[in-house]
Each structure stands twice: as structure tokens, then as C-alpha cells.
A and B are shown apart, each in its own frame.
Chain A
Amino acid sequence: MNDLSASLPPETGRRGKTQPMRWARGNGIRGDKTIRFTFDGRVLEAHPGDTLASALLANGVRLVGRSFKYHRPRGILSAGPEEPNALVELREGAQREPNSRATVTEVFDGLAATSQNRWPTLKHDMLGANSLLAPVFSAGFYYKTFMWPASFWEKVYEPIIRRAAGLGRAADEADPDHYEKATAFCDVLVVGSGPAGLAAARAAAGAGARVILCEQDSLTGGRLRAERVMLDDRPGWAWAQDTEKYLRALPEVRIMTRTCVFGRYDGGCFGALERVADHVAVPQAGQPRQRLWRIVAGQCILATGGIERPIVFPDNDRPGIMLAGAVRSYVNRFGVVPGRQAVIYTNNDDGLRAAADLHDAGVRVAAIVDSRQPSSTAAQAMARQVGAALFAGGAIAGTTGHTGLKAVQVRDSAGKTRRLACDLLAVSGGWNPDIALATHHRTHPVYDDALNAFVVSSPAPGLHLAGFAAGALTTDAALAQGDALGRAAAQGAGSDPATGCAMVLPRAAEKEGYAIAPLWHALGRAGQAGKAFIDFQNDVTAKDVSLAAREGFWAVEHLKRYTTLGMATDQGKTANVNALAMMAWERGRSIAQTGTTIVRPPVQPCAIGALAGTHRGRHFKPHRLPPTHDWAVEAGCVLTSNGIWQRAQWYPRPDETSWQETVNREVRSVRSSVGFCDVTTLGKIDIQGADAATLLERVYVNAWRKLPVGRARYGLMLREDGFAFDDGTTARLAENHYVMTTTTANAGAVMRHLEFCHQCLWPGLDVRFISVTDAWAQIAVAGPRSRDVLREIIDESFDLSNEAFGYMGAANVRLRDGVGGRLFRLSFSGELAYEIAVPARYGDALARLLMRVGAPYGITPYGTEALGVMRIEKGHPAGPELNGQTTAHDLGMGRMLSRKKDFIGRAMAQRTALCDAARPTLIGLKPLHASDALVAGAHLLPRGAPADAASDQGWISSSAWSPTVESWIALGFLSHGPQRHGEVIAVHNPLAGTVIEAQVVPPVFVDPEGSRLHA
């Protein structure tokens, strides 16, 4: 052992006890202010501007979590969103959020963070013994182990695996935070605010474009904050700050920090997530925690930079092993040194910069292990500059230190291994351009041999890559490229090329070098000894990739599924390329030949709550409220959803003990005296024009031309395939003026259908439609005393007698106080009944008036349930009968089909099979024992037949207890139904396993002659 193996230098405590590793101020830190947070209950100090990762490092905390499968102690690998290891739980209770990356979590006063996937404590994790089970956790372990006996899987193996392997715990309660969505538009969207992004935004804005600049970080500047680049003799981060300030002052530029553009979609749409209040203890009242943006952009410049690759070597996952670029970020931006004695391991010149930055921060750099042979002149110069030993052509063969790095084994080019004490190993395996957004939408990346990385060579139209994302290796190149593309994008989005003036670009003091030499499998098979991790988050090792190759899962998509490589929160950002290279090596092929998987949105995790926005709980969908809603609620109704309409289901009285009792009373009241029900929800379409009747003829199966003014008629619509679509009544108000009603459920679909018929099929027809559903409060007043009640309301001059205003009459009327309305003599209940329509603003008052003037008759408001019972008693088809599978013939309306005209569905309705008498046809059913409940969905079988599909002859569509008949009754469809009235059949309910005997009857249970209707 030589002198380099000397023990670590003692703590020097530069800035007092609390943040021993804070060496300087850092360009992104407000060092004048101290805040407190806790990690696993320990109170620690930090400064505004810190991430949880930088704050933990400042306090000398290196062990942050335990790994997914093996519970290996893990620290902080990166300084950005690609972090695979440092996942923690944030906050507590309902706001607990697992799997949060410490590297992008901003520390605030009072933040509570806890480590996860450990028991009982992070340092003494009992499940660390999982490492001993490593053979069963190898690639494909899900598929290979625990397969037998099958019954053990759910009860034994899975719970054990779930406890042992895993990440954080989700909150058990509903998320109490708010989320919202917003849309933004721009000519040019710039993603990323490093040198390329800032230059692009500045140039695009200068050329007259509306610009949105999105930065996922809390500060702009990108790598300018992580490096010590000097631009025009000033620190690069200062130029970034000035440029941001300049851009903010421009009216057409919008800078969105803490906003991650997570997806690229077609039509120039991007998804972005803004972390509005994640960096504060409690959002202000009403303020969302996160805001989901849809950004619509004419052109987009991706200046997303790059992600550094780790190097695969044995035990490369110990806390204290960190990406070299991340080391620089902690040193320069956060003023934190992640260790006191460092070794650098790199295959490129960029990694060397960590040596200089650490050295200047007072960290001893013991050695530079440069895999290149010969090493670059830059490496030699750096080793001299920082006083480090240089191992050209060297490799790291192993590491020690259980909960934190203590030493590395360096193998020199001659193959000799020696131990070097260090608590920080900065590694750089080169950089991958961050091209995730460019590859959304099935753009395939290609491998660039010079850059040793995947790039996008032909981005989608309107998309441009700038800076390192496009392979630009120097700050000057990034600035120039961003500037040129910013101008080009502005022109591409329609800006005048003459607009704007050229701006002077700053120049970097030095030209950064890269000089990468590939390093994918430095030690060959030997490098797979111990655990050489490729995917830290999923604990996938080099051995797992080799195993997958041997077992035939060598295609990239198979490799991913077989080993779980590239899954979970980091999606393999630091792992994928190393794994592909390893697979290529195993197969003796090039990386280009091996290929890569493509990625889907989101590029960073996105909370489901943010995708839902404000549409959750009761506001998941909007509610439509009928005009009598407030009155009905006051009257104590129970509400039900009818589509998005909220309707009164029934109106219980205090003495009633069940809804059935309530509904029975409501039905009896209507049948014996009078009741009323808000039917505003039925679709109402105003139809006008010289060809209005022609259109009705074409959309309804029956005839309309001869319908007199002042009359209404029932109509049935088919779809073009001959099956029933919708029904309702349409009234003729004037020569060329009709008002159509539709079912509540189909109101929108019928409007769309009418518009289709008019615009696509018969554009020559002179007819106009508009919805008037909301304009009128329409109330059904039904029962033998309904006329008496209406006499109290309608102006005396209007003759309500049966002779003057008979069944299916329609008229404009005036109420006694002068309000104008419409009166229809329509009946869904089969009783003498009217529907009265008044302008919606009077609906509430009309309900109250009906209660008052109807009191002497015992008027009863009724809800949708009683409405349903009465329509079943009368055999009126509704939703369950018009289910899209029934024809006019099935509904017993075959004879309505006009033979004198063309109408939608006529040709197809005539098909032999659709007119077959054997088709199940509408019938009524009554159980032999009145109290035997009939259930919708039950199957109809011949009496005594086995309950199997071969005997199935139909089904029940609607059923109810009829207080009028005092029996259960049902509507259903039965093969040869109309010929079988009187027959007793079996009703089989396979869910309950019951068979009930019932008699087939005509589908009208009450007043079959219709004398009540016409009274």
C-alpha cells in the first residue's frame, strides 16, 4: 500500500457544526438564511435554494435509502431528475408522498422527509439479508421462482416479496391538495434554460415570436450553475441570471420555472407539470399544489441537455459514489462538498473537471482513474494541477464501505490492484443527450459512434434540438446553436425574418473538451463479480443482462421486461444505454445493431391528481340541475343521477320506512288523484324551416306531414342499420315550426344525428335546429285530477276540456299571472296528463304553485322511480328497451314503419332476419305469485327447460313492483312473444340462482283501453 491509502483527513468543520460539508456559498443558495428540516426525525439545517439532496450532503448524510430488491444501502448518485437511488417519503399523513427524488425536492422550513424501504431503521435494515437471496432475485425472478404450488403465490410468496422488495408507502387517505389545469399558447416553446435554451429564447423573442421557456428546475441556467464556466469574464450563471431578467421584461416571453415538460403530443401540443407549491410547507388557501399545463406551440426547441452515465464495475452503488457532473453541481451551485477525499473515474475529459472543482473546494483528490490508454493530455495536466495520481488505462475493480464508501480497488494498466482510501468516487461514463421528448411519437433515436450516445437525427417537423441535446459539446457551440435555432423557429412560426436585431453572444473563456473513449465492459466477465449495477433503481446487474442474453431475451424490448431494466420512477435514465451496450457486447454486435427502446410520456413522474385537476369527487363531471332542483331538495327529495342530470328519485315522508313505500304512495297518488314531476331533462329541439316536415319524415319511421298545427305525435327513430335509436313526441307549433322531445340520455346524440342528416345527407333542406332544453321548465302533471289543478293555473280563457284540448294536443298558453307557456297533453303514466312548460326562470315558482293549488286534491310530487313504475305499468319503452339491440318490430311497433317514404333505417330494417317472428319481442310478465320479484337481466326459458343457453328465449328488460296491479311486473323480450300471451314460462336469474314462474301477458298492465288517457 502506498501513501495514497492513508486514512481520511479529519473533519475540519469549516462552517461550524451544523453543515460540516458546506464549503462556500454556492451560486444557487441563499446562505444568509437558515431553515430547518427533518430526515428520519433528525433536525437538520439548510439554506433556501437547497435540494433535499444538497442539504443532506451538507450535513454529511450520505446514506439516504435502501435499494428495491437487495436493500443495499444507497446514497445520492445525481443532482437532477434522473436520480435512481435517493428516493424518500415527503410530508406526513394524507399528504405523504413516496418515491420523491431528493435531488429535485426543494427544502423548505419544516419539511419532513423519511427514508423508505427499510426496517427498522435505515442504518440497521433487517431486510438487507435479501442480498443473501440474490440468486432468487436474478433476472426474470418473477417468472421463474415462486411458481409452484400456484396457490402459494397469492398467500405466501407475493406478500413476502411485496414487503421485502419495494419502494415507499402511498398515503392511505384521499389527497387533500388541490390540482388544476391550464392551457398556454406560444409561437416557440423552449424546453430547458441552459446556455442553449436561454440563447434560443432570447433569439426567438428578438425575432418577434411569442415564447414560452420551461425549466423543470427552480432556477434557470442549467449546467451554467453546475460548472465554473466564465462567459465574457463573468460567471456563466450570472449571464443566465441577467438573460432571465432581460427575458422576463419582454411582454411576449413567459418563463415557467419548476415546470417539467413531460410529454410531446401531435399538433404541437405538450404536457407540462408546474410544481406550484411543492416547495412551501402549506399551499395558500385554494392554491394548487401542482398545475398541469397543456402548451400549444408552433415550434419547439429542445434544449434539455444531457444525462451522465455511471460506469459499471463491482459494488458501484455505495453511498459516496456519485456522477462527476453531480459532484460539480453540489460543489458549485450548492456550495457543498460530497466528500473529503476523492477519486475520479472517467472515460472522458469532461469527468476531469470534477477534479479541479473539488480541489479548489479544498477536497483532496487522491487519484484520477482514466480508462483511456493512453490518457489525454488534459488528464495528465489535471493530475498535475490537483496533485493526484493518474492511472491511465486504469479501472476500478471494487469498492468497500458498508453504509458509505471507504475505499476503492484501483487496477492499473498493468493489472495490478491497490486500495485507495476515499469517501467520494466521482464517475463519468460519458453523457447521453436528453432526447426523451424528441422520441415521443415514435421518432426512433439512432446511435452516434462519435458521441458514444443515442441522438435524434431527424426530429419531427417543427421540432429542433439545441445544445448538448443535439450533441453540441461546448458552451460556445450551445449558445450559437440555440441562438440560430431560436431565430429559425421564430420564422418557422410565422415571424417576419426582418424583425429583431442580432444580439451579441458571450464567449466562453475556454473550450471544453470531451475526448470520450467507450467504456462499457472495462473488466469483461471479471467486472461482473460481486454486484456491478446497471440499473440502480431496479437492482439490475451486469450479470442479469448476461443471463437475459443467454436465455434468449436479447431483443431490447425483451431485455427490459425480463430484467425490469428501465422501469419505475427514473425509467432507466442512467441505466438504459449501459445495459444496451452490455447486451451488444454479449451478442457480439454493435450498439446500433442492438437498438434501443423508445420512451413514452411522462419523462418525469406525474401525480394522478394533477391529471385529474379539479375534476374529482363530486366535481368529476359537471351536474345539470333542472329548474325545480332547489325546491325539490327543500322538499326532501332523494337525488339520483340521470346521465349528468341530477333528478329527484323520490320524495320520502318522515313516517315512511323504505323507498318502496314512498314510491308506492307516489304511484297511487297519481293513479287516484294527481301528481307532478319535473321532466325538463328530456331533450327539446326547436325545429324550423320550410323543409322541417320533410326532415321529420326522414328521421322518424312514421308519417309527419299531416300532423295538424297544435298537435303532437309519438315518433320512433332508427339508426341506419335498422335498429331503434330514440323516441319521443314532437309537436307542431306552427306551419313550419316544431318542437321535438328526445329521451334524456340521447338528447345530445339526437342533435348530432339531426345535424348529420342535414349537413351530410341532405344539405339542400331548408331547416334549422337549436336546443331549447334549458329554456323551458317542463313539468308533467298527471292523474285524474290533473285538469282540475291546471284550471287553477292556466288562464281561464283557455278551454281545457277534453273536447277542446284532447289527447296529444299542443298549445301556447298563458298562465293566470300572464306568464306565457306551452301546454301539451302527453302522458307517460297512462293517466289523464299534461306537460306544462314555462320559461325556466319560473320553474321553481311553478312547482311551489302546483303544491299550493293542488293541495286540496292531495297533489304529490313524484320522482324518477314512480315515473319508471308507471311507464312499465303502461308498457312504454325506455332506455332498457331502446338498448341499441332492438328493432321497431321487437318493440311491437313494426306497423309504425311507413311504406310510403324513405327514412333513416328503412332499408336495413326490412332485412329478413330483423323481421323474423322468432326474434325476442316485447311482452309483459307477471309472476304466478305476486310477491316473486322479477329482476331485469333475468333470462326467459320455456317452463321446465334446463337453464342453459340453448333454451334461452329472451330476457327481462325492466321490472317493478306495481302498487296498481299489486304484483311484480316486468317488460321483456321473448321469442314469438305476442303469440304466447297466457303461457307460463320460467324466469331464470343466474346471479341469484333462482327460477320463478311467470305468465306472459300483453305489455300493458293498466288501462289497456286507454280510457284514462282520453278522459
Chain B
Amino acid sequence: MPDILSPCAPIAAEPCRVGALSLAPAPLEEMVSISSFSNSLPALREAVLHALGASLPPAPGTATRQQGLSILWIGPNQWLACAPQGSGLMEKLQVACGAHAALTDQTDGRVTLTLCGPYAHAIAAKLVPIDLHPRCFGLSSVALTQAGHIPVILMQRDRQPAYDFIVFRSLARSLHHDILAAMRGGIPESEQN
């Protein structure tokens, strides 16, 4: 009987709550980065649509999301596809577009921390130096930026609002600490006019 390796997450699944705000790691998802090879973009778009039933987002700073699947823009000609565990995401993509794009498994490379609750945008504004006004950063908007000193991919998951901070696994605990500190720091009075 072989030893079974049990997975271990860097952040406990139990959400941390401060008032009505909550911070919790998202369930582990399969993540694959897709980076288009030269002159392959049209074919890649077609192949992804065919394989996943969802399109690559048309513009930088956006994501397409449907039924548990999300595809985030993460750089020029580069995307991050995320799907629930057991979706066989890598296999599907390899078959469909292995010739058109570099595919790299990022399932373990990144951790998603979700911040949600009333005034979550005011807490996020303590971390990321980007404009979170709904006109600039709405539902499914994506930004590659830094939360304090930590590089993150930020996505607005829900209008509630809720934000996904997608962070390198090794930095997840530091980011979790920083977000929690921002939550404990309270909502600035000027947000609550």
C-alpha cells in the first residue's frame, strides 16, 4: 500500500471575518497559462472556444467567465484559464491548442484569496494602487499590479463587491496578513459619506 500524499494549502480554508467583510482562500482550481505562439492567435482563439466553449477575453484587463470557468488576461497574448478541480483543463487545452500556444500548469503556482463584503473596494484600495471605481474596474475586470509589495492578479469576482487576489503561492501568507490588517484598519470615514 503506497503512502498517500495529502495536499496542503498555505492558507486555512476557514474565512477570516472583520465586521461584514470576509477573506478566504478560494477552493483550489485547475489553472493553466496560455501563451500564444507567433502568428497563432486566430487559430488559438478558435481552438479555445472549441475546447472550452468560452472565448479568450477580447481585450487586456478583462476576463471571460461562465459556469465555473474563467479565462483572465494576464499579459500580451497571455491568459490564465481557471476551472474547478477535476475538469481536466490541461488535457482539453493540450489536445485543442497545444500547437498554438505554450501551456503551463499553474494550479499549484498561485493561490486565490477572495475579499468580499460591503466596502471591500475601500479595503482593496489600501492594497492596490489602481482605480477601483466601477467605471474603471468593474465586474470581471482584471489588473496585474501589486498589493503593497506583493505582485498580484486582481479580478473583480462579484459586484457585491468581491475581489480575487491571485498571488504566488509562496507569498500567500504575507498577502493574507496584509489584507487582514487592511480589513482591521477599518473603512475610511470618507468612504461612508
Direct contact of A and B (CB under 8 A): yes
**Bound state CA distance, A770 and B168, in angstroms?**
12
Decide if A285 touches B106 in the complex (CB within 8 Å): no
**Bound state CA distance, A254 and B122, in angstroms?**
12
For residue A571, give the distance in angstroms from its CB to the closest CB of chain B. 27
Residues of A within 8 A of B101 (CB): 768
Decide if B178 touches A286 in the complex (CB within 8 Å): no
Instruction: Check A182/B188 contact, CB under 8 A, given A625-B173, A776-B108.
Output: yes
Interface string of A280-301 (1 = CB under 8 A from B): 0000111110010010100000
A248 within 8 A of B: yes
Instruction: Check A840/B126 contact, CB under 8 A, given A286-B184, A686-B104, A689-B102.
Output: no
Instruction: Check A841/B8 contact, CB under 8 A, given A248-B193, A622-B174, A625-B170.
Output: yes
Decide if B185 touches A286 in the complex (CB within 8 Å): yes
For residue A688, give the distance in angstroms from its CB to the closest CB of chain B. 4
For residue A761, give the distance in angstroms from its CB to the closest CB of chain B. 16
Residues of B within 8 A of A294 (CB): 129
B190 within 8 A of A: yes
| Minimum CB distance partner of A846 in chain B | B5
For residue B184, give the distance in angstroms from its CB to the closest CB of chain A. 3
Instruction: Check A845/B7 contact, CB under 8 A, given A774-B108, A775-B109.
Output: yes
For residue A204, give the distance in angstroms from its CB to the closest CB of chain B. 16
| Minimum CB distance partner of A680 in chain B | B170
Query: Which of B131, B136, B185 meets A178, CB within 8 Å?
Result: B185
Residues of A within 8 A of B105 (CB): 772, 775, 839
For residue A185, give the distance in angstroms from its CB to the closest CB of chain B. 4
For residue A490, give the distance in angstroms from its CB to the closest CB of chain B. 15
Name the prevailing secondary structure of the A interface residues.
Answer: mixed
**Bound state CA distance, A776 and B108, in angstroms?**
7
Interface string of A841-875 (1 = CB under 8 A from B): 11111100100110000000000000000000000
**Bound state CA distance, A1013 and B76, in angstroms?**
43
A627 within 8 A of B: yes
A256, A288, A775 — which one has the most chain B CB atoms within 10 A of its CB? A775
B88 within 8 A of A: no
For residue B124, give the distance in angstroms from its CB to the closest CB of chain A. 10
**Bound state CA distance, A291 and B149, in angstroms?**
17
Residues of B within 8 A of A844 (CB): 8
Decide if A772 touches B106 in the complex (CB within 8 Å): yes
Residues of B within 8 A of A766 (CB): 37-38
User: Which A605-641 residues have C-beta < 8 A from chain B?
Assistant: 614-615, 619, 621-627, 630
A180 within 8 A of B: yes
**Bound state CA distance, A630 and B9, in angstroms?**
11
Instruction: Check A622/B150 contact, CB under 8 A, given A294-B129, A770-B35.
Output: yes
| Minimum CB distance partner of A247 in chain B | B193
For residue A764, give the distance in angstroms from its CB to the closest CB of chain B. 8
User: Which A675-723 residues have C-beta < 8 A from chain B?
Assistant: 680, 686, 688-690
| Minimum CB distance partner of B129 in chain A | A183
B175 within 8 A of A: yes
B171 within 8 A of A: yes
Instruction: Check A841/B181 contact, CB under 8 A, given A287-B186, A622-B171.
Output: no
B110 within 8 A of A: yes
Query: Which of B5, B178, B190 meets A619, CB within 8 Å?
Result: B178
A253 within 8 A of B: yes
Decide if A768 touches B35 in the complex (CB within 8 Å): yes
Which of A48-56, A384-392, A811-819, A931-939 lines the interface with chain B?
A: A811-819
Decide if A689 touches B37 in the complex (CB within 8 Å): yes
A167 within 8 A of B: no
**Bound state CA distance, A773 and B109, in angstroms?**
7
User: Which A779-827 residues have C-beta < 8 A from chain B?
Assistant: 793, 815-817, 819
Decide if B3 touches A849 in the complex (CB within 8 Å): yes
Interface string of B120-142 (1 = CB under 8 A from A): 00100110111101001000000
Interface string of A541-573 (1 = CB under 8 A from B): 000000000000000000000000000000000
Decide if A254 touches B190 in the complex (CB within 8 Å): yes
User: Which B1-47 residues have C-beta < 8 A from chain A?
Assistant: 2-10, 18, 28, 33, 35, 37-38
Interface size class of B (residues with CB under 8 A): 35 or more
A274 within 8 A of B: yes
**Bound state CA distance, A886 and B173, in angstroms?**
37
Query: Which of A274, A773, A817 meets B188, CB within 8 Å?
Result: A274
Residues of A within 8 A of B148 (CB): 614-615, 622
Interface string of B77-121 (1 = CB under 8 A from A): 010000000000000000000000111111111100000000000
For residue B69, give the distance in angstroms from its CB to the closest CB of chain A. 20
| Minimum CB distance partner of B130 in chain A | A183
**Bound state CA distance, A291 and B7, in angstroms?**
40
Residues of B within 8 A of A842 (CB): 5-8
For residue B134, give the distance in angstroms from its CB to the closest CB of chain A. 11
User: Which A568-607 residues have C-beta < 8 A from chain B?
Assistant: none
**Bound state CA distance, A839 and B126, in angstroms?**
32
**Bound state CA distance, A775 and B8, in angstroms?**
13
Decide if B104 touches A772 in the complex (CB within 8 Å): yes
Interface string of A754-768 (1 = CB under 8 A from B): 000000000010101
Interface string of B154-193 (1 = CB under 8 A from A): 0000000000000011110111011001111110111101
The 7 closest A-B pairs by CB, nearest first: A286-B184, A775-B109, A816-B2, A688-B102, A622-B174, A840-B108, A841-B7
21 A-B pairs with CB atoms under 8 Å apart are A183-B129, A248-B193, A274-B190, A276-B188, A286-B186, A287-B185, A614-B148, A686-B104, A688-B35, A688-B102, A764-B38, A766-B37, A768-B78, A774-B168, A775-B109, A815-B2, A839-B107, A841-B7, A841-B108, A845-B8, A849-B3
Q: A287-B185, A619-B178, A840-B109 are known contacts; what are 9 more A-B pairs with Cβ within 8 Å?
A: A249-B193, A254-B190, A274-B188, A286-B186, A614-B182, A622-B178, A624-B168, A766-B37, A817-B4
Enumerate chain A interface residues (CB-CB to B < 8 A).
178, 180-185, 210, 248-249, 253-256, 259, 274, 276, 284-288, 291, 294, 296, 614-615, 619, 621-627, 630, 645, 680, 686, 688-690, 764, 766, 768, 770-777, 793, 815-817, 819, 838-846, 849, 852-853
